[in-house]
Chains A and B, each alone.
Chain A
Amino acid sequence: MNSSEGKLKSSSSELDLDRPNIEDYLPSGSSIQEPHGKLRLRDLLDISPALTEAAGAIVDDSFTRCFKSNPPEPWNWNVYLFPLWCCGVVFRYLILFPMRALVLTIGWIIFLSCFIPVHFLLKGNDNLRKKMERALVELICSFFVASWTGVVKYHGPRPSMRPKQVFVANHTSMIDFIILEQMTAFAVIMQKHPGWVGLLQSTILESVGCIWFNRSEAKDREIVTRKLREHSQGADNNPLLIFPEGTCVNNQYSVMFKKGAFELGCTVCPIAIKYNKIFVDAFWNSRKQSFTMHLLQLMTSWAVVCDVWYLEPQNLRPGETPIEFAER
């Protein structure tokens, strides 16, 4: 900051500190010359900028802010609105919800009755089986989406099945990938969940070639990286979808993407998913709610409205490291 015309030549010069330039006072050769009197003990001892930053980070930081679920804004209560809201609640819980549950159950019945035979009978004929399973998975996802009365608008060209392609998307809730699966069957990389979701994951999703990981296992990363590479090289594998943020974000900020997705040396096609907050808050705070509760909550809301934007594919620019690529 205070670079004065020092008689003392400094050694290196990229000092980027928010403090008087200490190097002005470093002796050159062996003689110690008179300091300019600008650097005093006071300046050396004053660590308050660094402390202030640390305390600021403790009190609030932008990373954690991404994960706060927004409290629902209180409506303007008045005499007219309240009964309307009550009616709305009644409608949602007693009428919409059973209808949706019914739709979902029918969907599951159809799906299972087609899937299980296909899975076992067509064991020999892999290609055909894969195609049918893909179609079925797409079907069940449509049912899911319908069960929340999801209104999804897709923008941009649909992804095609090409090798060496990786899709990345922001992640707000588990339903993200259901919405995306509805259009095209992706293979996803996800964390293994306990409960009935885990069961689903291991049986059905295996058919579209999903990759599992376990955050708690340290060695897992290398295994997963290898699997990712294999998968993306294979020409007839389903296109791979990755949520690089690593976890669910509350759809307002975008956490810097973890670099793993970008190290694979493939074309990266970004997908952006934006939910309309007026209808429902789709953010799934996985620490606070289990998936079942979350599903139920979605089913009892009015609708899930979201936009899916397929963005332009990006390639690694020559000389760019994966980290820089991720930052773009």
Chain B
Amino acid sequence: MGNTSSMLTQYDIEEVQQHFSQQEIVSLYERFCQLDRNGGGFVSGEEFLSVPEFAVNPLSQRLLTMLDGLNFKEFVAFLSAFSPRATVQQKIEFIFKVYDSDGNGKVTFNDMLDVLHDLTGQFISEQQREQVLTKVLEEAGYTKESLLVMSDFVKILGSSGLKMEVEVPVD
């Protein structure tokens, strides 16, 4: 217990402190050290997968591309979107990043289809998924070829309440 806090200085805490309290950052650091088995200072994708509750999540593969090789600062930044103090804008940005797999700032039809596939894969066929997605897109004023950008996402998701919060256990 004692040796983990001494490796985390006050300066470090302030550097990463965006939305988390001091206590939460200390807890997160412990958690980070727990996950980082080989002590290299960063958590690899495999180490994340060793958490069974994460591995069974349908979006785990997509999240892994964002999570692989994170150091502690990036780890906290990743989780800051889930803090109750994060703004809706930040949460939407996070969701956008999950969709935008190639990171070019545009979400394509296929990106959305892929995420839908991750979530619903066994239950409906590919063709049905495409149909549903096309229909719903058209209804919202887009087409199959549209490339959605961040502001579109804000428009779509921003209006209703977005619940995306995680509580950091503080002992």
Contact = CB atoms under 8 A, between A and B. Distances in A.
Interface of A: 11-12, 14-15, 17, 22-23, 25-27, 32, 35, 39-42, 44-64, 68, 71
Contacts of B168: 59-60
Given A26-B132, A35-B139, A51 B153 contact: no
7 contacts: A25-B135, A39-B132, A52-B165, A54-B63, A60-B31, A62-B53, A63-B51
A47 to B, nearest CB: 6
B60 A42 contact: no
Interface string B4-40: 0000000000000000000000001001001100000
Interface residues of B, number: 53
Contacts of A14: 123
Contact of A55 (B112, B123, B166, B169): B166
A58 B68 CA distance: 13
B57 A54 contact: yes
A56 B82 CA distance: 9
B131 A61 contact: no
Given A47-B115, A54-B59, A60 B169 contact: yes
Contacts of A55: 79, 82, 166
Nearest to B94: A51
B132 A61 contact: no
A58 B54 contact: yes
B137 interface: yes
B157 interface: yes
A46 B112 CA distance: 11
| Majority SS at the chain B contact face | helix
Contacts of B139: 35, 40-41
Nearest to B159: A42
A63 B95 CA distance: 27
A45 B160 contact: no
B156 A26 contact: no
A45 B79 contact: no
Contacts of A51: 59, 63, 82, 94-95, 98, 164
Interface in B78-123: 79, 82, 91, 94-95, 98-99, 112, 115-116, 119-120, 123
Contacts of B142: 41
Given A44-B112, A44-B136, A51-B94, 12 more contacts: A12-B123, A39-B136, A40-B139, A40-B140, A44-B133, A45-B99, A48-B91, A52-B164, A53-B57, A55-B166, A59-B28, A64-B34
A49 B79 CA distance: 15
B135 to A, nearest CB: 7
A59 B166 CA distance: 8
Interface centre among A25, A45, A59, A63 (most CB of B within 10 A): A45
Contacts of A61: 51-54
Contacts of B51: 57-58, 61, 63-64
Given A40-B139, A42-B156, A47-B98, A57 B57 contact: yes
Given A51-B94, A64-B34, A57 B82 contact: no
Contacts of B156: 41-42, 45
Contacts of A32: 131, 135
A51 B57 CA distance: 9
